[in-house]
Amino acid sequence: MPDVKPAMRVIYIPILLLFAAFLFLPLGMLFVRSFETADGINLSNYLTVLSNAELMKSFENSVKISGLTAVITTVLAFFLAYSIHCTRLYRPLKSVIKTGILIPMLLPTITFGFAIIYSFGNQGIITKIFGRNLFDIYGFNGLLIGYVIYTLPSAFLLINNSFKYMDKKFIIVSKLMGDGTIRSFLNTIIRPLSGTLGGAFVLSFILSFTDFGIPASVGGTYSVVATQLYQVMLGSIPDFNNGAVIAILMLIPVVFSVFLLNYLEKLNFHYDKFSDIELTQHKGRDICFGSISLLVLIGMFSVFAVMFIAPFLTSFPYDLSFTLKHFIDTFQSSDLTAVYKNSLFVALMTAVLGTFIAFSSAVLNVRTPLKGKSSMDVISMLTNTVPGMVLGLSYLLLFNGSSWKGTFAIIILCNMVHFFTTPYLMAKNSLSKMNPAWEITGILLGDSWIRTIYRVILPNSASTVIEMFSYYFINSMVTISGIIFLVTAQTTLVASKIKELQHFAKFNEIFILSLLIFFTNLIVKLLCDHYQKRQFKH
């Protein structure tokens, strides 16, 4: 490792200051505000909130529904990952499952709700097909479907990744040792995956617990924490101090979950070597898992199908003639195109700046001997813990009186901080695998440290940097919980515009805007994947 160079500090100190100003300070402010009352600092806000039956009910509801979501999601995600890694399903079908399941990630969660309404509601497509209402979608059922669709991709990615690094030779060994199906399954699949399955459960729980988009659309009268928080802050009688209390209370289960996640990490097996091995023939297994996976996928697609159909019909579900009128109207509305441009701008800025900050932080931590460099890990753990809504709220409290209020800058900064963890870990992972002697070599060949980073480390991280960019971009395009407290009439983004359009029941516009986000994200994702593949060929 090279010595500490002034250039390292020149990067390190501004990054620390950035997180001090946009992570620690707002959260500190939030904490203080939660104790602040007309008679000074005391616990009365907490007492008010805790004695509010409706609020407490919403907490209970949130925990209940998030827990149930987490169970369902974990089981389904396991089925899907198992089908991909432990069956001899037709290969193209495996890729369809692998790719298809990730599609919800390209859409804002608020869209899920409207898709559910248009599928299962009184006039919904699926209701029409079945000829009757399957169940009441507003409230519990709708939320559950929405949360499961929302959390399934993340849980699947987690489990799928663990399966990839699991040594499947043990399945054969277990068979050869005479284990029965159940014992073999428990010992070679469930036990090695237990940490990951627990992780998938916790992750799904946190995601559902903190999401705002789904309850905002199909929540109905079933109140959850996220919608309560929104109402307290931006309802008819805003109460910032009580809002701060709810945000702090929202943090508690999340903090607990993050500790649980770190503990579960220890349960994971670490195979130093893993080999691909032929799986045994088993028609029954393949058919069973293949059909379950397909069913999950079809179920998910059928919910979204309406989004691709309704905007092309004159007046769904009454007049089903084809028309492009809604599209033409939307694109001619300067209001909506401006909102789309806002979203693009915010996503691009977040992706560029966020990738820069996350990459620099990882370089400092992994490839320099700086003192205190592990503070980056603390920051990444904290950003992983704080839900978008809590972060956004703390910005609102801190910047409300300042000239930062209503600027794109705080929205971009909020996204950068909110989504910091994953890109940072991606960079850390890739940088730590690189030859530790590169910087020394660069310096011996006459480059300064910073030039070596630019000429050697960066080109060799190209693939990771592209992945980081794509992650930041897509998440900034779809997030609503992070920015809902920060947007103003001038800085409206597509996701928050959808929330607004809901009040005017403009579902065609909602779906068209969602399609815009979807296709923008799809294009960015495909482009990034393409460039990443090109990088790998080197």
Partner 1 sequence: MLKLQNISKQFDGKSVLDHINLEIKTGEIVSLLGPSGSGKTTLLHIILGLTGINHGKIIFNDTDLSNVPMKDRGFNIVFQDYALFPHLNAYENIVYGLRNRKGSVSKEELQEYIDFLELTPHLKKRISELSGGQKQRVSIARTLVMKPKILLLDEPLSALDGVIKESIKERIKSIAREFKLTTIIVTHDPEEALTMSDKILIINQGNISQFGSPQEIINQPANDFVKEFILKQLEIKRENIYNLFGEKYA
Binding site for partner 1 (CB under 8 A): 3, 435, 437-438, 440-441, 443-447, 455-456, 459-460, 462, 538
In contact, 506 and 255? CB cutoff 8 Å: no
Q: Least distance in Å: CB of 531 to partner 1?
A: 14
- Residue number, 452 or 475, with CB nearest to partner 1: 452
- Residue number, 180 or 436, with CB nearest to partner 1: 436
- Residue number, 252 or 437, with CB nearest to partner 1: 437
- Residue number, 85 or 455, with CB nearest to partner 1: 455
Q: Least distance in Å: CB of 309 to partner 1?
A: 46
Q: Least distance in Å: CB of 521 to partner 1?
A: 29
The residues near 390 (Cβ < 8 Å, ≥ 6 apart) are: 30, 210, 247, 250, 251
Distance (Å, rounded) from C-alpha 202 to C-alpha 191?
17
Q: Which contacts of 501-507 are long-range, i.e. CB under 8 A and separated by 24 or more positions?
A: 502/110, 502/114, 502/216, 502/217, 507/114, 507/118, 507/310, 507/316
Q: Least distance in Å: CB of 270 to partner 1?
A: 23
What backbone phi and psi angles, to 5 degrees, belong to 36?
-80, 130
- Residue number, 23 or 370, with CB nearest to partner 1: 370
The residues near 232 (Cβ < 8 Å, ≥ 6 apart) are: 238, 239, 242, 243, 246
Distance (Å, rounded) from C-alpha 274 to C-alpha 121?
48
Distance (Å, rounded) from C-alpha 264 to C-alpha 261?
5
> Helices (DSSP H) in 386-506: which residue ranges?
388-399, 408-418, 421-432, 438-444, 449-452, 458-460, 462-478, 494-503
Q: Least distance in Å: CB of 370 to partner 1?
A: 17
- Residue number, 252 or 458, with CB nearest to partner 1: 458
Count the helices and strands in the chain (H runs, E runs).
27, 4
- Residue number, 266 or 538, with CB nearest to partner 1: 538
Tokens 């839900």 belong to residue: 387
Q: Least distance in Å: CB of 444 to partner 1?
A: 5
Q: Least distance in Å: CB of 232 to partner 1?
A: 53
